[in-house]
Structure 1
Amino acid sequence: MISIQVSLRPQSPVAVHPLLPEQKLTTSAQAITTEQVIANFLASNEHQGKFGSIRSIYMNDGTRVAFVGTGNIDKLNLQKLRSLASKTAQKLNKNNIETADVYLTELEVAGVNLADKVQAIAEGIWLGLYTFDNYQTKEKDKQTKLSSINIVIHGDESKAKQALAAAKAIAAGTIFARNLGNHPGNVCTPEYLGEQASSLAHPKLKTTVMDKAAIEKAGFTALLAVNQGSNKEPRFIIMEYRGADNDDAPIALVGKGLTFDAGGISIKPASQMDEMKFDMCGSAAVLGIFKAVIEMNLPINLLGVIPSTENLLGGAAYKPGDIITTYKGLTIEILNTDAEGRVILSDALAYAAEQKPAEIIDFATLTGACVVALGGQATGLMGTSDAIKQSLITSGQKTHDRVWEMPMFEEYQEQIDSKIADIKNTGGREAGTITAACFLSRFVDDIPWAHLDIAGTAWNMKGTDISPVGGATGAGVRLIVDYLQQKVQ
């Protein structure tokens, strides 16, 4: 991560100013229009104001001034500001500029204060510059790269620095989640996930990583059933962060940790099966959130629960038609071994509910049906608590890590009732995302609960302004950290 700072004064020989449509400039840039070279530049440039376009010139004193187009300022919001900062940093990096002052906080965004703008700009820079090239053996590009950015502000420097620190922690958590998702399945195994969870050492954090023997002793039998087809041991990860009073019930975060999902006996099509290394992005989100919360030292109690395994086709693999017993004691009729995420989550949710948290939020790349319904633009949201759901919607709008609620009418529950067991692990094609959530709801008791289906948002093969092509996005991290921040403010 490059160095970013905020200050009231410029620090660099390169200055980046916003350029609004019709050659309009913000306050700091207006002060330099008396320079003839600037006036000539503005008069001759045809593409001024186009969103993300950058044009630069050298001044007579050897300094450099760049103008970045803002597009229609009526549509400017925090996400546009993140994107603009990302595009700016990428262009500076491409042009071998080592350091620059940016004046993007001078842009007016309705309903947004200086701290919000600083956080958005910093997030955009850090996330926009993210790359994952760990497995490329070719010699790395040695040309000069962007090393530092100074965000020039006009206002409360103390609050701006606090916002920058929050942005750094959130970006670090998001990048941590992205890296986990981007590692291949032969590297990011259940054991590796356990090691990464243990790496988040902190005085307020206790981490327990159960191996197969401990899992068997604890009775997480649904996780063990899915694991039968793999020769790699499962892991059951428990994380307890105590940032508030010990008497305060924690918020439980539960993440699906399928480090590779071939579908088991109900094998997936070969096309794009390689992307099933991303099936652990729910667990990556939980770990990324914990990393951010630790770095921010949030005064809140959290419980993290991650069941992790592969879903493969070994001779001992569980089969369609099998009936398995869960940690909670409920029995499941297995109709499709590729509906395994909800099976392992049943043990994790039941364990989390047993700890009596204040609420439970789970994250899972759970259903292809959610991708069909929402594409990659929003995470599916379901649950039993209107208060949690509304707060998640609000945080999603602010962070652009968006969610969209789907109904959970009582009638949907009938689709997962089994004639020979308590429930079955798929309710059929109709309302597949919703019936998967209905399945999970049987394991949370009366604890307020929300389910986030990130199947469409956890990775993006096309890429976005703040997320690279063909990689994990870190979906859920920025959403939940903002959600937690609102609880402690």
Structure 2
Amino acid sequence: MPTLELSSSPLAESDADAVIVTAFEDGLSPAAGEADAALGGLLVEMREAKEFRGRFAERPVIHTLGRLPARRLLVLGLGKRDQLDAFRLHNAFQFAGTTLRKQGVRRLAAHADPATVAALGNGSPASAADVARAVVTGLLLGNFEGDLNKSEREPDPGIERIELAGLDGDEVALRQALGEAEVLAGASNQVRTWAAAPSNTLTPRLLAEQASALYAGTGLEVEVLQRADLEREGMGALLGVARGSDEPPVMIVVRHDGGRPDGPRLALVGKGITFDTGGISLKPAAGMEMMKWDMGGGAAVLAAMWAIARLNPRANVIGVVPATENMPGGRAYKPGDVLVSKSGKTIEVTNTDAEGRIILADGLAKARELGATHLVDVATLTGACVVALGHVASGLMTNDRDLGRMVEDAAALAGDRVAELPLHPEYDVALRSDVADMKNAAGREAGAITAAVFLREFVGDVPWVHLDIAGPVWNDQGDMTVIPKGPTGTPVRTFVHLARAFAEL
């Protein structure tokens, strides 16, 4: 992890290898103006020639030729002021960090300013610490290298030092924000590492082992339920999905007891399908290799628990991750089968490729058994949500507007995007079954919503939010160039901010 520092040095005295300054479409930032003066008006000339317009994620790198101590100057476009939010600010600085890392920069200085703080607030309260956290988190996300399985790789030590300059505010709060950024980025990059891992190197058992190793020394209480435990607890939903795989299923349960014994208990429940073939309802071959990231929700829960332990909010948080592969085979579950879940409710299987919701049924039941007063589940659940929202936002569905608002507020701080989809009562009939309590899948219409309707059957009267992250977990859309490519780590930072919000209840 790079060294993080606050700096009061002016741009003209920075000894970094590269300096980042910003610009909106309507003008240069003060630091960019200072750089422009040192470069003899070059930046203004570039704007007038429309070589740089301050559009979002524009990032020309200029060699300073000795006119500034730093050899390179990256001018980062932040777009329109009234469109800047934490999501865009994180992404912009992630782009900047990636660009400079690939150019071999080891020490960089990022200059922010009060105008960025004002734009981030956009009429709502924002602080210099909010900007510091987003800027540094974004840069650390840009320091992530994903192609770890190549036999021949050029050495890439990455960025080793990051200085943040230009922000006025309480120095204690700014330094705290840097420490939070280090944890939040570390958690995000852990999710990205797990999501990108080939499934032969990250089976359910190996995921549990790696998570347990990650938690060493954190004080978290970890329990890994093995097949015999799952059988004893009657988790027929998870065990049913697991039947086609030679890899044994597990359920990973993690506890952070930082709040009052009688206080609220937030449960985060994540889908942990470490590879999804679709089972007997087999997926097409094209693109199936990407189903290694179908455990992205579970990875977010596990990494969030690590970050929560590091930041230690006074909140009670449980993480529950049912994990298995979904494979075809002679013992695999089949369309027409009826599974008995931990809750006792029966599920008619109409599509074995709608397996995530089935294993989450047992995960939600386990969380309720452990005393959860509030439930948030997260899953790469439906292609329908990708069609609806693309790779920009997670679908949010809830039975409790207050909890939904808390998740939305946490996402806004975290630099994640969520969009609420309705749960009108008319959707309920789509999952009615003639032979069981419910079907696991309905038709194509409103597929993301009917998946949430299924999950709602397992939460009882507990306040609950469902997050479908099938789109934003991994951006592979060629023309979606204003969001970084590849695994994103969403919504791990949202969960950390949510836990901190629960500490205030």
TM-score by length of 1: 0.92
CA distance change for structure 1 residues 371 and 85 in 2, over 3 Å: closer, same or farther? closer
1:147 paired residue number:
160
CA distance change for structure 1 residues 32 and 399 in 2, over 3 Å: closer, same or farther? closer
1:441 aligns with 2:456: yes
CA distance change for structure 1 residues 231 and 62 in 2, over 3 Å: closer, same or farther? closer
1:121 aligns with 2:128: no
Q: Distance in 2 between matches of 1:217 and 1:399?
A: 39
2:274 paired residue number:
259
1:138 paired residue number:
152
1:103 paired residue number:
111
2:327 paired residue number:
312
Query: 1:29, CA displacement in angstroms?
Result: 5.8
Following TM superposition, the consecutive aligned residue runs of length 4 or more in structure 1 with deviations greater than 6 angstroms are: 463-467
1:212 aligns with 2:227: yes
Q: Distance in 1 between matches of 2:68 and 2:393?
A: 48
Q: Distance in 1 between matches of 2:218 and 2:3?
A: 27
* AA aligned opposite 2:62: R
Q: Distance in 1 between matches of 2:432 and 2:23?
A: 60
1:39 aligns with 2:47: no
1:8 paired residue number:
8
Q: Give SS of 2:354's match.
A: coil
Query: 1:24, CA displacement in angstroms?
Result: 4.2
Q: Give SS of 2:441's match.
A: coil
* AA aligned opposite 1:100: L
Matches within 5 A, 1:162-173: 162-173=176-187
* AA aligned opposite 2:21: H
Task: Report Cα offsets for 1:203-233 as digits up to 9, x if no partner.
Answer: 5311000111121122211111111111111
**More displaced stretch, 39-48 vs 149-158:** 39-48
Q: Distance in 1 between matches of 2:384 and 2:26?
A: 45
Query: 1:486, CA displacement in angstroms?
Result: 2.8
Within the candidate set 338, 345, 352, 1:330 is matched to 345
Task: Report Cα offsets for 1:362-382 as digits up to 9, x if no partner.
Answer: 011111111122111111111
Task: Report Cα offsets for 1:298-326 as digits up to 9, x if no partner.
Answer: 22111111111111112111111111211
Query: 1:19, CA displacement in angstroms?
Result: 4.6
C-alpha contact 2:317 2:499 (8 A) present in aligned 1: no
**More displaced stretch, 408-417 vs 262-271:** 408-417
Q: Distance in 1 between matches of 2:37 and 2:340?
A: 77
Q: Distance in 1 between matches of 2:482 and 2:170?
A: 27
Q: Distance in 2 between matches of 1:239 and 1:486?
A: 19
1:92 aligns with 2:106: no
**More displaced stretch, 194-203 vs 266-275:** 194-203
* AA aligned opposite 1:273: M
Q: Give SS of 1:125's match.
A: helix
CA distance change for structure 1 residues 65 and 327 in 2, over 3 Å: closer, same or farther? closer
Q: Distance in 1 between matches of 2:451 and 2:139?
A: 37
**More displaced stretch, 53-62 vs 110-119:** 53-62
CA distance change for structure 1 residues 235 and 135 in 2, over 3 Å: closer, same or farther? same
C-alpha contact 2:268 2:320 (8 A) present in aligned 1: yes
Q: Give SS of 2:21's match.
A: strand
C-alpha contact 1:19 1:48 (8 A) present in aligned 2: no
Q: Give SS of 1:186's match.
A: helix
* AA aligned opposite 1:386: R
Matches within 5 A, 1:60-459: 63-64=70-71, 66=73, 68-70=75-77, 71-108=79-116, 109-110=118-119, 111=121, 112-141=126-155, 145-152=158-165, 153-199=167-213, 200-202=215-217, 204-459=219-474
1:53 paired residue number:
60
* AA aligned opposite 1:39: G
CA distance change for structure 1 residues 439 and 16 in 2, over 3 Å: closer, same or farther? closer
CA distance change for structure 1 residues 467 and 42 in 2, over 3 Å: closer, same or farther? closer
How many corresponding residue pairs? 484
C-alpha contact 2:20 2:76 (8 A) present in aligned 1: no
Task: Report Cα offsets for 1:125-176 as digits up to 9, x if no partner.
Answer: 011221212211113246x853212101333211101111111111111111
Q: Distance in 1 between matches of 2:433 and 2:26?
A: 65
2:22 paired residue number:
18
CA distance change for structure 1 residues 409 and 34 in 2, over 3 Å: closer, same or farther? closer
Question: Which residues of structure 1 form unaligned runs of 5+?
Answer: none
CA distance change for structure 1 residues 107 and 81 in 2, over 3 Å: closer, same or farther? farther
CA distance change for structure 1 residues 31 and 383 in 2, over 3 Å: closer, same or farther? closer
Q: Distance in 2 between matches of 1:22 and 1:326?
A: 57
Q: Distance in 2 between matches of 1:134 and 1:95?
A: 19
**More displaced stretch, 402-411 vs 176-185:** 402-411
Q: Distance in 1 between matches of 2:427 and 2:23?
A: 52
Q: Distance in 1 between matches of 2:401 and 2:182?
A: 31
C-alpha contact 1:222 1:344 (8 A) present in aligned 2: yes
Query: 1:85, CA displacement in angstroms?
Result: 2.4
Q: Give SS of 2:181's match.
A: helix
Q: Give SS of 1:314's match.
A: coil
Query: 1:40, CA displacement in angstroms?
Result: 5.0
C-alpha contact 2:218 2:310 (8 A) present in aligned 1: no
Q: Give SS of 1:58's match.
A: coil
TM-score by length of 2: 0.89
Task: Report Cα offsets for 1:69-125 as digits up to 9, x if no partner.
Answer: 434445444334333323333333344332132212354333221101100100110
1:460 aligns with 2:471: no
C-alpha contact 1:467 1:473 (8 A) present in aligned 2: no
* AA aligned opposite 1:66: L
Q: Give SS of 2:113's match.
A: helix
Q: Distance in 2 between matches of 1:403 and 1:102?
A: 28
**More displaced stretch, 189-198 vs 68-77:** 68-77
CA distance change for structure 1 residues 465 and 286 in 2, over 3 Å: closer, same or farther? farther
